[in-house]
Structure 1
Amino acid sequence: MDTDDGFGEFYRTSRHRTVTVLYALGGDLGEAQDAAQEAYARAWQRWSTISTYGDPEAWVRTVAYRLLVNRWRKIRNGIVAYRRHGPDPHAGPPSENTVALVAALRQLPAEQRQAIVLHHLADLSVADIAAQTNTPPGTVKARLARGRKALAVLLDTTLSEEACHA
């Protein structure tokens, strides 16, 4: 007997049909797959109850369709709000310094970038970063030190190049 009480088999035999129906209803394969995935996750959490239904696949389809509709509503409401209010009038273009910083951050290894952003932009302590990333505090400190050093070189190079072009 399956350790998942038949959920795995249910998923394997119904997933393609569910995604196909959602794709036909919504016209976006990615959205259909996302909605189906969420619906199956919810079904799995309640499988002891849903497995007793006459048509568990219908339950999944209904939940997935509602998720799809809710996404459409959110998108539509966002567009309506944007049309009504327009872009934030106080939000100007990013400064040259911001553009240079973001470009330099993109060049850092992901772990160093994450440590620097969480520490300096999100204002988290080393202990908080360690807990959030499941990393020892010493490793976080090392990533911060290496990241700052690399960032200083990258920003110095960027500023020197800008001075040459000015």
Structure 2
Amino acid sequence: MGLVSDEMRAGVGSVIDWEVSFPVAASDIRRWMIAIYYPDPPPRRFWDETTAPGGIVAPEEFNPFAWMVAERRKPVIAPLARDTDWIEKFIGITGPGLRNQINGGTEATYGVPMRPGDVIRSETRLVDYQEKTGRMGPMLISVTEAVWTNQVGERVRVERQTAIRY
């Protein structure tokens, strides 16, 4: 099909994006859980320091980047809003120029829980390109992987996302 150029193939494995959170605050975890469980009260382990050794923990789906980030990588080429070539622009290469993109799914695995005081770093890499033919013609499937680690390098979360462009 020819959607994946040599330049794009060479970009597989590149860091697309990275960001660093502000320190996780106990009040961030509590507010997150109040919103998630409303109108029911959240489980005590998410808000009461006396329930577990080491104090409260964040739930696996907690996102320390939800409000703002302390640091973020700037893209090599700034993508436009709804730019289907955003992956390639972030690493400074030419994308395929396809018009549409849909979410092909997300898989997540979890490691150590986040706790108050943790500073989380997320690093997203381009993992793979696959070309397929769909009912609407040629499709490009792009897979990225974001690895979240805490300040001591322990894995908190690994997310694999699939984007389908056509």
TM-score, normalising length from structure 1? 0.22
Q: Which has the higher strand share?
A: 2
Whose radius of gyration is greater, 1 or 2? 1
Greater relative contact order (CA < 8 Å, ≥ 6 in sequence): 2
What TM-score results when the alignment is normalised by the length of structure 2? 0.22
